[in-house]
Structures are given as C-alpha cells and as structure tokens.
Amino acid sequence: MSFGAFLIQAILISLSGVMSPGPLTVVVVGKGAQSPRAGALIALGHGAVEFPLMILIMLGLGPFFQHDLFATSIGLAGGGVLLWMAVGLLLSLRRSGAQEAGPERLREASPFMAGVLMTAGNPYFIVWWATVGATLVFRAWGYGVWQFALFAVVHWSLDLIWYYFLASAAFKGTKLLGDRFLKGISLVAGLMLFYFGIRFITSAIGDLLA
C-alpha cells in the first residue's frame, strides 16, 4: 500500500475517534460558548498529550498502556477531574449570571488545561491509542520518520478542525440566543461531565473488583 493510500485510510479511521461524543466534546462546547478560540486551545492541550503518547507507543510502550492497573488508575483520576469540573460548572449556575461565572471557570481550568486534563484522564482515549492507534503508528513509522510525522500532524489537525467547528458553533449560538442559551449549555455540559465522571469511576472500581 502506498503512503497516500495509508494516510487516507488513517484519516477515515481517525475520524471515528475524533467525532465520537465524549467528555472532551462536552468541554469543547461548554468552553466554546464562552470563546470561539476555545476549540483551538483545547486542541493544543489535546495535542500536548497525544503527540508524546504516539512517540511512546512507537518506542514500544503500547502494551504498558493496555495494562489493567494503568487503565484503572487513569479511570479513577480522570473520573475525579470530570466530577470536579462538573461540580464547578453546575455551582456556577447559582450565581447571578452565566456570563459572570464564565471567566472564573476559565481561570479554574483554561481551555488549554481542560484539553490536557480531559485527554490524559480519559481511559478510552488511552485504550484507543494502545490498540487501534498503535497499529496506525507502527504502520506510519514503517514508511519513514517524515511520513510518521505527517501522519501525526494530520491526525491532530482533524481534532483541531472538529473542535474549532464545535466551539465556533456554540459561541455563535450564545451570541444569537444570549445568556439563556449559555446557561443551558453550561447545565447540559455540567450534567454530561458528571455522568462521564461517575461512569469512569464505577468502571474503574468494577475492574478492581473483577
């Protein structure tokens, strides 16, 4: 298979992960309702975890990331971070307005740091890269160093485009519909983050007891 054909295949496979709803998607929409640049900043935070992870997998640490204890630890830590963000987001709705609460929430977890935390604390993201992603990494590396680098940048670019689109759409909705829309986005995002947090923790505890 030529590298061009492989890259097209990798893009199609990557899109299935990039566009899958998850806690990072929720954060992108929630932060995007406050700033149209949030999607790009979250993508940068996501890349700060994803690029080193690709290199570690290429160096042979893929099996380590598949270890049950590692996945359980990530699930517990990630679930805790999700609950922390969910509680902060929901409590902010009790203040006089979502616009006033927004800047404080951004200081608590900036879009960049939210991208880092939501990526590093997502066990499903780690498992995807340790399995499906690892296959793509090794195949890309087989074509050469520059081909591997191009694959990594193209994959991350899909995240950047998708998150920028979601954040921009959320921000335009806020500008058009006002504070009520922003508060609605904050409520839904808080509840979804709470759900994912509980799901991560219960799944991790279940693995420990299994």
DSSP assignments along the chain, one per residue? --HHHHHHHHHHHHHHHHTS--HHHHHHHHHHTT-TTHHHHHHHHHHHHHHHHHHHIIIIIHHHHT-HHHHHHHHHHHHHHHHHHHHHHHHHTTSS-HHHHHHHHHHHS-HHHHHHHHHHT-HHHHHHIIIIIHHHHHHHHHH-HHHHHHHHHHHHHHHHHHHHHHHHHHHHHHHHH-HHHHHHHHHHHHHHHHHHHHHHHHHHHHHHH-
Asked whether the predicted pLDDT for residue 50 surpasses 90, the reply is yes
15 in a domain, yes or no? no
Domain that holds residue 150: 3-10+22-209
Asked whether the predicted pLDDT for residue 149 surpasses 90, the reply is yes
109 in a domain, yes or no? yes
Asked whether the predicted pLDDT for residue 102 surpasses 60, the reply is no
- Model's pTM, two decimal places? 0.76
pLDDT at 95: 58
16 in a domain, yes or no? no
94 in a domain, yes or no? yes
Across residues 154-171, what is the average pLDDT? Answer: 90
72 in a domain, yes or no? yes
110 in a domain, yes or no? yes
pLDDT at 177: 65
Q: What is the pLDDT of residues 4-41, one digit of tens each?
A: 899 998 998 888 777 776 788 888 888 888 888 899 99
